Amino acid sequence: MINELVSKIKKLEAPIVVGLDPMLSYVPEQVKEKAFQEFGETLKGAGEAIYAYNTAIIDAIHDLVPAVKPQIAMYEQFGIEGMIAFQKTCAYAKSKGLVVIGDIKRGDIGSTSEAYAIGHVGKAKVGNNEFQSFEEDFITLNPYMGADSVLPFVKVCKEEKKGVFILTKTSNPSSGDFQDRLIDGRPLYEWVGEKVNEWGLDFMGDDYSYVGAVVGATYPAMAEALRKIMPKAYILVPGYGAQGGAGKDLAPFFNADGLGAIVNSSRGIIAAYKQEKYAQFGAENFAEASRQAVLDMKEDLKQAWVK
């Protein structure tokens, strides 16, 4: 799957993943009204509104980008109906040829991590049958609990040729509370980066590893150090746009081959129609606004990766 992701990024010249993090407040009124008319102002109504919103955006951008990244929290907030929307969104994105990165940030002790892995990137055995629940190709993981919380995910991914991105230096302002603290003279996130590299060398695709890292666009200087520590890890880069990162600042995330990073934008793409810049599209053409925002992001990112 890492080979497929890299090949799509090259072909499309777009190291871009569109974050499908649908706050209900992003969903245009006409989409919400249609869902609420059919299902009421209920959790099902919310799930259906989100799913309709997502599919319109996927239809508008699937030929431009290699991947989407649904953020499961935005679905989980609506309970079972939200999780159904998450599952349908993953399946719809797959049907359109997109790589699906499930932003789930899970992590637990051994057998429990394996259970998460089975649900998200593996297959559950029930009697003599096997079932795939959520059709994700990659998932994000939290490393706080150490190797034996991460490696059960890697084990399942090896069986399924799927991959992980491990939180290393996250994009949020407080990420430094623990991640920046110095251990033997080096910040914790670099020690996590060392482990990402070590785990990843044992699970390589053609040029890059199935074990990647999450490093926030908001911290390019730190990315420069991490890029060297884990040269074979693909870096998933959140925090572009809305959180402050810009294309010209992202060069340190990429390797000399122009590869090695995939930049996420969520609100900046899916709620583009709310920005003054794309106001001419109007709420009724929200998906076309998203398409234009992807095209603009693609141009902006060339400052980072075209060598």
Indicate which residues carry an active-site annotation.
105
Q: How far is the CB of 103 from its own copies (least distance, A)?
A: 8
Size of residue set near its own copies by CB under 8 A: 73
Give the CA distances from residue 140 to residues 72, 119, 127, 215, 292, in Å, rounded to whole numbers and listed in that order: 11, 14, 29, 12, 28
The Cα–Cα gap between 71 and 83 comes to 11
Stretch that binds its own copies, among 60-68, 183-191, 251-259, 297-305 (CB under 8 A): 183-191
The verdict on 113 binding its own copies (CB under 8 A) reads yes
Answer for which of 51, 53, 92, 134 binds its own copies (CB under 8 A) is 134
Answer for which of 54, 56, 71, 212 binds its own copies (CB under 8 A) is 71
The verdict on 295 binding its own copies (CB under 8 A) reads no
**Nearest Cα residue to 272 out of 286, 253, 251, 260:** 286
SS3 assignment, position 102:
strand
Answer for which of 29, 91, 109, 228 binds its own copies (CB under 8 A) is 109
The verdict on 190 binding its own copies (CB under 8 A) reads no
Q: How far is the CB of 263 from its own copies (least distance, A)?
A: 16
Listed in order, strand segments (DSSP E) in the chain are: 16-20, 67-70, 99-106, 124-126, 129-131, 138-141, 163-169, 182-183, 186-187, 211-215, 235-237, 261-265
The verdict on 87 binding its own copies (CB under 8 A) reads yes
The Cα–Cα gap between 110 and 84 comes to 27
Q: Which of residues 142-181 bind its own copies (CB under 8 A)?
A: 142-149, 167, 170-179, 181
The verdict on 43 binding its own copies (CB under 8 A) reads yes
The verdict on 34 binding its own copies (CB under 8 A) reads no
